């Protein structure tokens, strides 16, 4: 069944809601029902289009965060960073929709994807491009305050905003890795752990990306803090 505008309205009489959200265009971006190769193809397309919409929003916010950090406006940057993190959690739930698809049903329309792959996603690439630069902005703040990352963690009462920013960057990095893991498990669930992905990527290669992080310094500082605590007899 195709979703159509209210039958009592002509094209020129669309509601403000329809005009503002451009629902005619939005709902025409999926395959028409009669062209679907398989029932589950519509869900597959909608799920991935949702990714692109939210990643567009996330990239928009990340660029704004960069500007705010360069202006030393940490409070507003934190607000937007938490929004981006929440978007990433939405993406985890969005991905789980594909768990409702039977592997054999996926194979029934997988051929129409040709060599297309999630790694070709413009939204994903935008996040991969922008995200690492947040560390440059954070490091510039540390230099400006003449403080090390260890000191930020060890003297939280003195550097509350910097610590909050460090932790939210860690949260963002973590949820992005959770997405990578969930995407890998979905791929394994659909085509098997020893198979090759639609874009020609072996599962083993996809699995190796799980070790990639945006902010390795924020993970390494935990090792140094543990070592310092040990040296001081705290553990």
Q: What pLDDT shows up at residue 34?
A: 94
Which pTM does this prediction carry? 0.90
Is the confidence at residue 174, as pLDDT, over 60? yes
Q: Dump pLDDT digits (tens) for 25-56.
A: 999 999 999 999 999 999 999 999 999 999 99
Task: In whole angstroms, give the CA distance from residue 83 to residue 66.
Answer: 14
Q: Could you state, in order of their start, the residue ranges of all structural domains in the chain?
A: 40-217
Helix (H, G, I), strand (E, B) or coil at 215: coil
Is the confidence at residue 98, as pLDDT, over 80? yes
Task: In whole angstroms, give the CA distance from residue 117 to residue 121.
Answer: 8
From the candidate CATH numbers 3.90.1150.110, 3.40.50.12140, 3.40.30.10, 1.20.58.480, the one assigned to the domain spanning 40-217: 1.20.58.480
Are the CB atoms for 95 and 65 separated by under 8 Å? no
Name the residue with tokens 């996603």: 121
Q: What pLDDT shows up at residue 11?
A: 57
Is the confidence at residue 8, as pLDDT, over 50? no
């Amino acid at each position: 069944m195709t979703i159509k505008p209210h039958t009592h309205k002509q094209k020129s009489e669309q509601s403000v809601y329809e005009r503002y959200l451009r629902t005619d265009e939005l709902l025409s971006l999926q395959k028409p029902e009669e062209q679907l190769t398989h029932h589950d193809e519509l869900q597959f397309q909608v799920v991935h289009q949702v990714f692109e919409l939210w990643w567009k929003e996330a990239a928009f916010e990340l660029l704004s965060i960069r500007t705010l950090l360069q202006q030393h406006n940490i409070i507003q940057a934190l607000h937007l960073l938490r929004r981006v993190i929440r978007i990433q959690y939405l993406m985890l739930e969005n991905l789980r929709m594909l768990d409702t698809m039977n592997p054999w049903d996926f194979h029934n329309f997988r051929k129409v994807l040709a060599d297309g792959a999630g790694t070709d996603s413009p939204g994903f690439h935008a996040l991969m491009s922008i995200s690492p630069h947040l560390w440059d902005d954070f490091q510039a703040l540390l230099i400006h305050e003449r403080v090390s990352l260890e000191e930020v963690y060890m003297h939280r009462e003195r550097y509350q905003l910097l610590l909050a920013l460090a932790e939210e960057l860690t949260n963002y990095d973590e949820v992005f890795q959770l997405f990578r893991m969930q995407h890998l498990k979905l791929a394994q669930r659909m085509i098997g752990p020893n198979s090759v992905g639609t874009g020609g990527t072996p599962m083993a290669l996809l699995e190796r990306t799980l070790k990639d992080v945006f902010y390795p310094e924020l993970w390494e500082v935990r090792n140094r803090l543990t070592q310092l605590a040990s040296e001081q007899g705290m553990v």
